[in-house]
Amino acid sequence: MNIPAKLTLCLAAALSMIGSAFGASRTAPNVIVILADDLGYADAGFQGGKDIPTPHLDRLAAGGTVFSNAYVTFATCAPSRAGFITGRYPQRFGFERNLAWQPANPSAGLDLRETMLPAALRPAGYKSALIGKWHLGSHDDFHPLNRGFDEFYGHLGGGKRYFPEDLTIINTLDCENEPDSYRSLITRGREPVRTEDYLTREFTREALDFV
């Protein structure tokens, strides 16, 4: 794939981040991260999975490196994401459980004193986008655009209904609880937008457009 130098992407079937520095040195590596919630050890084809074909992941594995004895920092969504995006054990900064939907709570999110990957990459000329699931705080202080990302297209909470007709709540901040947040529109930047396709395809197109 011919991508501009210095691009980071975190994609989420669960999370997504892309970054690129236009005009930056073409020797700098591009970074694309695909972080999938609840993916079992043997779910992908290259790990022996038979239930769901994963030809693209299998091709990446065949041409790259597979870590067969590696572990996430935590066995649930948000702490595992927090560990990855900070490079630190989430227990070290008190992030040890999934977050409840609390957009009015300025303390319900990943500690603002922690440096996230996109913020660390920015001085090196990277531009980063998060596409998909965030789940590291729904209060505006924790918004991806306030944590180092240059673009955001996705949802702030722990999940989302994937069919566009199920997304009936326009403003995410009108959601009173986690189930409500699953039914709110997707957010571009800070604005709600309507989707027309199954959400996985929406996120895939958005990631490709950013790249």
Cβ within 8 Å of residue 118, ≥6 positions away: 8, 17, 19, 126, 128, 130, 147, 148, 149, 150
- The question of whether 135 is a catalytic residue gets the answer yes
Q: How far separated are the first and last CA of the chain, in Å rounded? A: 10
- Which of the following is catalytic: 77, 143, 155, 175? 77
Q: Which helix (H) or strand (E) holds 2?
A: none
- Which of the following is catalytic: 135, 143, 155, 175? 135
- The question of whether 77 is a catalytic residue gets the answer yes
Closest CA to 175 of 98, 103, 105, 99: 103
In the DSSP assignment, the letter for residue 190 is T
The catalytic site residues sit at 77, 135
